[in-house]
Amino acid sequence: MRKIDIFDTTLRDGEQSAGINLNTAEKIEIAKQLERLGVTIIEAGFPASSPGDFEAVNLIAKTVKNSIVTGLARAVKSDIDAVWEAIKVAEQPHVHTFIATSPIHMEYKLKKTPDSVIEQAVEAVKYAKSKFSLVEFSCEDGFRSDRNFLVRIINEAIKAGATTINVPDTVGYASPEEYGALFRYLRENCLGADNVKFSAHCHDDLGMAVANSIAAVQNGADQVECTINGIGERAGNAALEELGVAFHIRNDFYGIETGLNLKEIKRTSQLVSRLTGVVIQPNKAVVGKNAFAHESGIHQDGVLKNPETYEIISPALIGEGDVPLVLGKHSGRAAFRDRAEKMGFELSDEKLNKAFSEFKKLADRKKEVTEDDLVTLLTEQQVSIADVSLFALNSVQVQYGTENIPTATASVITPEGETRTLVSTGSGSVEAIFNTLSQLVDGEVNILDYRVTSVGKGKDALGEAVINLSYNGYSVTGRDAAQDVLEASAKAYLNAINRQLIQQSIRVSEPVL
């Protein structure tokens, strides 16, 4: 079996998706789960882009021990310095630096000649190598670059000290045959190719990201760069879960080992979906809710007789399955803590007590507390921002009738500890709530997206609300869960406002790198 490395860029390329805005606590939680999943390298962010990104990368580098942590840097010294300051505490400091190499990018974006691009790349790699033992150099828009030029710049990057060469299909233009042929060509023509890793980074604009990544591996790539649930800019990146399971199920054909703990796939997928607010499409390969559903009578009959008739992937492989009731309303704090730890959550006593309190409330109202319910309660505590006093919902009430104007009344605790009672109307119950809560802040709040989904099954299921809004010129996503969807919506709105106010405070109080 040939071993390849899995380079996860959920926290960098994935977070660049429209509408995604993760705070530091959420990024750390995702990084810890990626470590449990067994990814080789975690690209934790772009430290030079903002103080918040720098802080998150630094804390992840301090936290993660079993995966390599890297940060992105343009081919400039200040970016590389920012990555070093953030990453130097890591077990194996790694930097990922890049410059565009396609004719269209060099002419119109960089406004540089090919020779000056090579010169800048060499200078950046040499400087990075003086600080880092592991240096990845990327040829942005590599697939659309001239092959001879790619060989030239890669040769120079290898001589300058690069340990990994990444040749991305940045705009998702390649076909598997073409992308595979490019890697074979570079392997055969670049000097020192046997002394470095070659990496594939594919976008999904034409739906080819996973196929192209596999083609690259078949033609000499030692590493694939991907994201959980395939999130990323535009149509997204190659989906990690699809690559991992494909290499496992068809190891007879590919002969590839990834080192992933596939049983962590489902939980990782759900965590990223919940924290980013990006819903997984039902028919998504491997992790969609319909991935193991069988509607056809013929299919159902076959699966009952032998699951392998229609299931090439067993649900248990990715950690999916029917989970029995794990806790009830009579369960004690010790049992709750034990279950939380077994599920991989690490909570302080204060957060555990808060989660236990919410669990007891839920257990009193629901006949069954499911695994999904527990994940929701524990995740919200795990990623909550500590030691910050912001708006908190005391209560919300809506008066609604088909012949009346919907009116919402909300009681909110302010950051100063005061209780404010607010009232407003709207064309519907949810709009009335949002109009009421918007009185808490100055400036215009615009709702960009809003949705409510059930957590688990049944009429008593938790409802999770996700809201994307713009406030003070920035877009931010908030979420919360409650059995009453109107309560969940109000809490999600306040969560978004709180997150924006915290980020605004960081932007005002800290210098830009």
For residue range 109-164, what is the model confidence (pLDDT) as tens digits? 999 999 999 999 999 999 999 999 999 999 999 999 999 999 999 999 999 999 99
- Residue 389: per-residue pLDDT: 54
491 & 407 share domain: yes
266 & 398 share domain: no
Q: Which residue has the tokens 């409802």?
A: 463
pLDDT in tens, 348-406: 888 888 888 888 887 777 666 777 777 777 777 776 654 445 899 999 999 988 888 99
Check whether 322 has a pLDDT greater than 50: no
In a domain, 212, yes or no: yes
In a domain, 287, yes or no: no
pLDDT grade for 513, boundaries at 50, 70 and 90: very low
d(CA 393, CA 420): 10
- Residue 279: per-residue pLDDT: 87
405 & 500 share domain: yes
pLDDT in tens, 484-497: 999 999 999 998 89
In a domain, 337, yes or no: yes
* Sheet of 462-471, strand order: 445-455, 462-471, 474-482
> Do strands 392-399 and 407-413 pair parallel, antiparallel, or not at all (unpaired)?
antiparallel
In a domain, 110, yes or no: yes
- Residue 206: per-residue pLDDT: 98
Q: What is the number of other CB atoms lying within 10 angstroms of the CB of residue 381?
A: 19
Q: Which residues pair with 140 in a beta bridge?
A: 100
In a domain, 282, yes or no: no
422 & 341 share domain: no
165 & 188 share domain: yes
193 & 75 share domain: yes
Q: Total structural domains in the chain?
A: 4
In a domain, 258, yes or no: yes
Any idea which of 87-91, 183-187, 274-278, 471-475 has the lowest mean pLDDT?
471-475
Higher pLDDT among residues 338 and 245, named by residue: 245
pLDDT grade for 35, boundaries at 50, 70 and 90: very high
- Residue 476: per-residue pLDDT: 85
d(CA 83, CA 80): 5
pLDDT grade for 21, boundaries at 50, 70 and 90: confident
Output phi, psi for 233, to 5 deg: -60, 150
Find the mean pLDDT for residues 454-463.
79
Biggest alpha carbon distance in the chain? 78
Check whether 23 has a pLDDT greater than 90: no
Q: Which of 239, 206, 225, 228 is nearest to 166 (CA)?
A: 225
Domain that includes residue 431, residue range: 392-509
The backbone region for 355, taken as left when phi is positive above 0, alpha when psi lies in -120 to 50, beta otherwise, is: alpha
pLDDT grade for 311, boundaries at 50, 70 and 90: confident
- Residue 450: per-residue pLDDT: 94
6 & 73 share domain: yes
- Residue 301: per-residue pLDDT: 58
Burial class of residue 441, CB neighbours in 10 A (0-12, 13-18, 19+)? middle
Check whether 255 has a pLDDT greater than 50: yes
Find the mean pLDDT for residues 333-349.
80
Give the tokens for residue 465: 């609300």
Check whether 421 has a pLDDT greater than 80: yes
- Residue 324: per-residue pLDDT: 47
In a domain, 69, yes or no: yes
Q: What is the number of other CB atoms lying within 10 angstroms of the CB of residue 72?
A: 25
- Residue 384: per-residue pLDDT: 64
In a domain, 284, yes or no: no
d(CA 283, CA 369): 26
> Do strands 94-100 and 134-140 pair parallel, antiparallel, or not at all (unpaired)?
parallel
101 & 136 share domain: yes
Average pLDDT of the chain, as a whole number? 89
Find the mean pLDDT for residues 452-460.
79
- Residue 88: per-residue pLDDT: 97
268 & 209 share domain: yes
The pTM of this model reads 0.86
* Identity of the amino acid at 78: S
Check whether 504 has a pLDDT greater than 80: no
Q: Convert 264-298 to b/e letters by CB count within 10 Å (16 or more is b).
A: bbbbbbbbbbbbbbbebeeebebbeeebbebeeee
pLDDT grade for 341, boundaries at 50, 70 and 90: confident
36 & 94 share domain: yes
- Residue 274: per-residue pLDDT: 86
311 & 360 share domain: no
SS3 content of the chain, % helix, strand, coil (to 5): 45, 20, 35
With a pLDDT cut of 90, the percent of the chain lying above it is 64
Give the tokens for residue 218: 């078949």
* CATH, residue 211: 3.20.20.70
65 & 164 share domain: yes
* CATH, residue 481: 3.30.160.270
